[in-house]
Amino acid sequence: MLIADSTGPGFALAAGIKQYLAEKCDCDVPLINVEKKTFKDGEFKLKISDNIRRKKCFLIHDSNKLPCDWLAELAFALEAMTFSSPEEINVVLPYLRFARQERKDESRISVNAKVVADIVSLYATRGITVDLHAPQVQEYFQIPFDNLYSFPMLIYYLKEFHPEILENLVVVSPDLGGGKRAEALAKRLQKIGVNAEIAFGHKTKVRDNEVEKVMIIGDVCGKNCLVVDDIIDTGGTMIKTAEVLRNAGAKTVYAYGTHGLFTQGTDRFKVFDKVIVSDTLKSPEGSNVEVLSLVGLFGEAIYRIVRGESLSVLFDK
């Protein structure tokens, strides 16, 4: 059984997963609503709209909610499911909120990712997400927690719709910290015969979300460049990276970010030829923004969990 909030923008992803599973299993897969009643003082309660007793349940939690609402509704929905006696409680978190606060890097701060992990681990049997900001966040969960990778889907998308960029390609990390991410994509591309080079951006920050300067380490002149990151927030680093790539003679400049927050809109991303994001979040419209669907990735993961099959094949398939 799938469970999701039918009133939120993330319901389209849940409906797509339902359709995928229905075709895969050749049967109807129930998609149950999470009902929300809000009181005058702002408090609310959640109710699972149908019987889930002895069912294997997958809560597909809407990542588009404001962070505080996302966390509260996640906790309340899981608690409501716990007392409904399901066989399993699996939680699908397309974009894991608070994952960027994953370590103690100064005194007297909260490690928010661990708090989220503790709440989920208290109620759920298993968790699924995609492209964690920091893979070590998996270790905070006291339950099996699978971090899927979207790069296989991205490679398929590029081959299908933008094969021109795969010629003379440079995979660019906008900062040194994302170097492993760029290397991982380059290695996957090599398996299909695309020998991509790697370049790195070196940035200096004035403060959070405000970048002062970016320098590119690597040869990008006359090359097709694909800037990759896990999250597009304000896009400051990505945009400065694209500007430096243009000035360095790059032929084309594309961007891929799994989770497109676009907190300052999409207009400022016109420096890119294309910006590709996944549907973990509902992205605002933009003339050069394209959406890569991860319905198949999540749907196949759910199918394999129910069947007791390996998920590792999804990382390379």
Catalytic residues: 203
State in Å, rounded, how far the first CA of the chain is from the last one: 26
Contact (Cβ atoms closer than 8 angstroms) between residue 276 and residue 290: yes
| Contacts for 227 with CB less than 8 Å, ≥ 6 apart | 172, 173, 174, 238, 241, 242, 245, 253, 254, 255, 256, 272
Q: Rounded to the nearest 5°, which phi and psi values hold at 125?
A: -90, -35
Q: CA-CA distances (angstroms) from residue 160 to 179, 252, 260?
A: 26, 18, 21
Task: Show the tokens assigned to 156.
Answer: 């398929």
Nearest to 285 by CA among 295, 294, 293, 275: 275
Q: How many CB atoms lie within 10 A of CB 178?
A: 18
Pair of tokens at residue 43: 């408090």
Q: Which residues, in sequence order, are bridge partners of residue 172?
A: 199, 227
Which residues lie below 8 Å from residue 230, measured CB to CB, with a gap of 6+? Answer: 131, 132, 133, 178, 181, 257, 258, 259
Q: Cα-Cα-Cα-Cα dihedral of 307, 308, 309, 311, to 10°? A: 110
Cα–Cα distance for residue pair 62/173, rounded to 1 Å: 28
